[in-house]
Amino acid sequence: MITLPVTNPKKHSRKFNDISHYKKQARYHLLPFRFISLNNTREVLVNELGDFLLVDKGTAERIVKHEIDSVNDLELYADLSADFFISDSSIPYLIEVMATRYRTKKSFLDHFTALHIFVITLRCEHTCHYCQVSRVSEDKNSFDMHRAHIDSGIALMMQSPNPHVTMEFQGGEALLAFDQIVYAVKKASDDAFQIGKQITFVICTNLAPVTREMLLFCKEHNIIISTSLDGPEFIHNSNRHKKGNDSYSLALNGIALCREILGNDGVSALTTTSALSLAYPNEIVQEYIDRGFNSIFLRPISPYGFATKNAKKNKYDTQLFLDFYKKGLAKIIDYNLEGNFFREDYASIILKKILSPFPVGYVDLQSPAGLINNVIVFNYDGHIYASDEARMLAEMKDYTFQLGHLNTANYNDIFYGDKAMEFLNAGINEALPGCSDCAFQPYCGADPVQSYTTQGNLIGHRPSSVFCHKNMNIIRHLFELIDSDKRILNVFHSWIRN
């Protein structure tokens, strides 16, 4: 229960009022909700289900003081009641509806781990300055995943209770070990057929080594291609260096070939924001539009692995990224308001949590955190990690998030062992200091790996957290946009429907 101290002009007191004070005021009962100011005139109220109300500043105080009147504040009172902020009874009449909706929001936990990442090789022919793993030259076959480890990884994947899993191949450059991918896809497909499990296959690649024959195999087995495009040629070639300075042209040629063989939906692209990128948000967005994509994921460099070694090109203040993000988002919104469809993917993920009753499977914005719950990583050398970021951390000789090895792995020890429990307990933002009372908690997540990397422990310190700074500012900005123009809200609804 939220209480207010008695105000005394001569002396401030933190004592509770007498029980009669509350009995006299209780025209309605408060249900759990949080609130935060958006600006000098508006605030947002958010309940446990993620329902929100944008209201005049001071409304939260009036609600807590029981000053909302069903006659004089008819519309507000009705909204508060309908959206489970207040109740006429101490136990809401629709409490079972509330419970069902909460379970729906958390239903991403129902089937447990979906994404299984196989780091099929460390070999790569690029030398990207923000690479988060230690790549090796393309001729060193000893850095390919052994087939015995592929078999063990597939066996663990088949034990997942999830009826629909994703098998994602990463590198290095995954296509340099395409023979291992062929073996893994055929083996996993056969095993899945035997037990009635569905598999989505994804290959993460820069597309430089791609051939028509590779893509015909991908088409036969419904394999999705995920590639990188960092923006216009001068940005992409600078970020993703390759001998010959032709990374950009190879990426575009590869994308065109993928679309020819796999169709437009058979290939997607990600951008990574380097220090160089920060000055060109509009140009980067325009590049994606010009290349026929219908979305872009504006994301910062992660503070892991060898990406941290080149601070001049990779390290920048979070506020600089937020300025870049907001400018890029503004261009995207304007493009939509002109009658075109093009979405920003990170905003779309958050908006689905804000505007829909459905769960979101994005690992970084889940509570409990997505590591282990939703993703597991089998490294090229057989070691098992709690997330892709945990694998990157291990490349810097920090094995905190290493869970075991495929030679000796036991499913229960890996997924339900002491380490797994420790990590998962640190990833429940409903119970974390600074998160539990945050208005944006239902839309955010927790990242124990980033907290550990940047702040030295699994829990972290929210006021100085990069994760918190980024997400709070983006979520706040989205609410400001929703509150500013109904046309923008319509654009946002179109993003989560597609």
Could you tell me which residue, 5 or 342, shows the higher pLDDT?
342
Q: Classify residue 318 by burial, with Cβ atoms within 10 Å: 0-12, 13-18, 19+.
A: middle
Q: What is the pLDDT of residue 4?
A: 47
For the cut 50, the answer to whether the pLDDT of residue 272 exceeds it is: yes
Q: What is the pLDDT of residue 210?
A: 97
Q: What is the pLDDT of residue 190?
A: 98
pLDDT per position as a tens digit, 344-365: 999 999 999 999 999 998 888 9
Over residues 3-19, mean pLDDT: 59
Q: What is the pLDDT of residue 315?
A: 73
Q: How far is CA 369 from CA 132, 241, 300, 361, in A?
A: 21, 34, 19, 11
Say yes or no: domain 107-418 is CATH 3.40.50.1820: no
Q: How far is CA 77 from CA 21, 51, 71, 189, 370, in A?
A: 22, 15, 8, 55, 37
Task: Give the residue range(s) of CATH 3.20.20.70 domains in the chain.
Answer: 107-418
Q: What is the pLDDT of residue 361?
A: 84
For the cut 90, the answer to whether the pLDDT of residue 75 exceeds it is: yes
pLDDT band at 71 (very low <50, low <70, confident <90, very high): confident
Beta carbons within 8 Å of 28's beta carbon, 6+ residues apart: 66, 68, 81, 86, 87, 88
| φ and ψ at residue 376, rounded to 5 degrees | -140, 150
Q: pTM for this structure?
A: 0.91
| φ and ψ at residue 104, rounded to 5 degrees | -60, -45
Mean pLDDT check: name the lowest of 89-98, 124-133, 276-285, 310-319.
Answer: 124-133
pLDDT per position as a tens digit, 143-163: 899 999 999 999 999 999 999
pLDDT band at 498 (very low <50, low <70, confident <90, very high): confident
pLDDT band at 3 (very low <50, low <70, confident <90, very high): very low
